[in-house]
Structure 1
Amino acid sequence: MIPALQPGDSIAIIATARKITFPEIELAIRTFESWGLKVVLGQTIGASYNYFAGDDALRLQDLQQMLDNENIKAIVCARGGYGTTRIIEQVDFTQFKRHPKWLVGFSDVTALHSHIHTLGIESVHAIMPLLFPKEGTADAIETLRKVLFGEELTYTIAPHELNRTGTGQGQLIGGNLSMLGTLTGTRSDSSTAGKILFLEDLDEYLYHIDRMMVHLDRSDKLAQLSGLIIGDMSDMKDPALPFGKTAYEIILEHTGKYNYPVCYGFPVGHEPLNLALVCGRDAKLEVSEQGAVLKYV
């Protein structure tokens, strides 16, 4: 178990993927400081190499230094985009395994969550500094604070017409659907058997969602789950020739043959209400006609 943060602790903000400027994360810095934390900025904040927050060497160095620095109690990724998988193979997690710390982010940061899960260490899928100024994010930010400071969290979700009722228990894993597909067969991949999987995605063609769900199923990622949580499928696209199903209907098609509970409409993903989830922690998912409850056990 990673120690809960305490007032006075130092946390780092870095960018492992797309570039970002200091003004874009200024509100997040002030928010973290209001929680009593000291914020250390990585060299990648404000750095630029074409699309990226510095070249691969700089982003790798930034992440490695923060992982190895025992005075840093949490690492918060400033934003997603693309680029984390370009450096993850070169990261040395030796010191991190000896002295685990929270790593926070989502979207492209799914690569780090998945890799850290293979080490048996928890991490936090949650809102990132770039999005703090966005309207409607206050509740998402508060759930991040509660997770980091070790407060109890139970989520009660409204019923959805596609839900499948039941109860499942296991480690909570997942993140961005596109990233999880990209990680299949790599050293950042792990078994989903007996676990509760959560999925979200953004800005994908519907036929891409179908292709990725087929891939997950053929990779034996769906058959042995204890439960499935479907979050936001935001800004889905359709070509001129319509695919004919929504993202949720596509997912239902590929998981309908299984018996575990499924919760649709869970607020996780690329929307303002992106509830913080602890990847790798044992959880229970209860889905009934009244809705769904996710709690840690």
Structure 2
Amino acid sequence: MIAPPYLKKGDKIAITCPAKSLPSDITTAIQLLGSWGLEVVIGETVTATYHQFAGTDDLRTQDLQRFLDDDSIKAIVAARGGYGTIRIIDQLDFSRFRRNPKWLVGFSDITVLHSHIHATCGVQTIHGQMPLNVPDATKPSLESLRKALFGEPLHYEYESQTPGRDGEAEGILIGGNLTLLVMMAGSASEMDFTGKILFIEDVGEYLYSVDRMLWQLKRAGKLAKLKGLIVGGFTDVKDNAIPFGQTVPEIVMNLVEEYDYPVCFAFPAGHIDNNYALKLGSMVTILKRYTKIKVEQVFRA
């Protein structure tokens, strides 16, 4: 996977809204990016609205296309997720982006772009905090985004009391929002899961829905081919009046019990304030021993 050029002070980056409209201004985020020495260019969609979207499909396509094609823009940051990126993905032309790749940053609905870029361009992207989330984001998570953009090592150590499966693995990191990963199945935007370390997160889903989506991945042969599994935040998970009977970790372990790769829970990424940056498409190592877990990006010449 190709790593776009890392940022340096004075570089231009763009903020655009490929999905839902912003409910508030993003001044705090613009100021933060400026404090990193970056020049921020604001897309038309940042202030646009069309029903629940940040402008019409055409406007959102044109806004993102402008930044994909502009070689002076060194990174594109999605202002927020929501819903809507899938409506424009097939209208975007990535031919110039392939010749001059740049960093794409975001999470949640932006998984559509992560997946499509990995599948069709072979370019690394960053799963991390977005401008809408900056006011509530933890300082360490924002610092991890800065490190990812400027090419500094990403090394995470944390403890999880949620049982998983011990082990060690190295592989290319893929993933994002579980719902969106399942939505990409069978399309030109579907990631290759073979030999990869998969990261998943989600928000607001019913337990039965999480179970159903993971069964879909299993039946499609995706879970059997992994080298490792990292489970991030599954926040605001709901249950029915008649309880489903399993927690998210229990659902996951039930579906991967026949495999032997490491499984890590409670990684600090997803729809949480402490949403650490992950460089999707990069080589990473994971080491799980009991409650202690290490996830580290591997730099190779």
Count of aligned residue pairs for this structure pair:
295
State the Cα deviation string for residues 247-292 of structure 1 (Å, max 9, x = none).
1211111111110001101001000001100010011111112511
State the Cα deviation string for residues 71-91 of structure 1 (Å, max 9, x = none).
000000000000001000111
2:9 counterpart residue number: 7
1:178 counterpart residue number: 179
2:167 counterpart residue number: 166
Matched to 2:135, the amino acid is P
2:84 counterpart residue number: 83
Matched to 1:79, the amino acid is R
Whole-angstrom distance in 2 between the partners of 1:45 and 1:296: 32
Whole-angstrom distance in 1 between the partners of 2:195 and 2:288: 17
| Alignment map for 1:64-103 (pairs within 5 Å) | 64-103=65-104
Work out whether 1:26 is the aligned partner of 2:27: yes
- Check the 8 A contact 2:21/2:54 in 1, yes or no: yes
Whole-angstrom distance in 2 between the partners of 1:198 and 1:254: 15
| Alignment map for 1:88-237 (pairs within 5 Å) | 88-118=89-119, 119-134=121-136, 136-237=137-238
Matched to 2:130, the amino acid is M
- Check the 8 A contact 2:76/2:105 in 1, yes or no: yes
| Alignment map for 1:19-58 (pairs within 5 Å) | 19-20=21-22, 23-58=24-59
- The SS at the match of 2:171 is strand
Whole-angstrom distance in 2 between the partners of 1:70 and 1:36: 19
- The SS at the match of 2:8 is coil
| Offset at residue 212 of structure 1 (A) | 0.4
- The SS at the match of 1:59 is helix
- The SS at the match of 1:189 is coil
Q: Which runs of 4+ in 1 moved over 3 A?
A: none
- Check the 8 A contact 2:162/2:249 in 1, yes or no: no
Work out whether 1:278 is the aligned partner of 2:279: yes
- The SS at the match of 2:225 is coil
Work out whether 1:263 is the aligned partner of 2:286: no
- The SS at the match of 1:133 is helix
Structure 2 length-normalised TM: 0.96
Whole-angstrom distance in 1 between the partners of 2:63 and 2:256: 40
Matched to 2:98, the amino acid is K
Q: Which runs of 5+ in 2 are unaligned?
A: none
Q: Which runs of 5+ in 1 are unaligned?
A: none
Matched to 1:12, the amino acid is A
Whole-angstrom distance in 2 between the partners of 1:24 and 1:192: 37
| Offset at residue 37 of structure 1 (A) | 0.4
- Check the 8 A contact 1:162/1:252 in 2, yes or no: no
- The SS at the match of 2:223 is coil
Whole-angstrom distance in 2 between the partners of 1:207 and 1:87: 29
| Offset at residue 160 of structure 1 (A) | 3.1
* Sequence identity (%): 49
- The SS at the match of 1:44 is helix
Whole-angstrom distance in 1 between the partners of 2:70 and 2:103: 13
- Check the 8 A contact 2:166/2:263 in 1, yes or no: yes
State the Cα deviation string for residues 151-182 of structure 1 (Å, max 9, x = none).
11111121434120111111100000000010
| Offset at residue 24 of structure 1 (A) | 2.6
- Check the 8 A contact 1:137/1:272 in 2, yes or no: yes
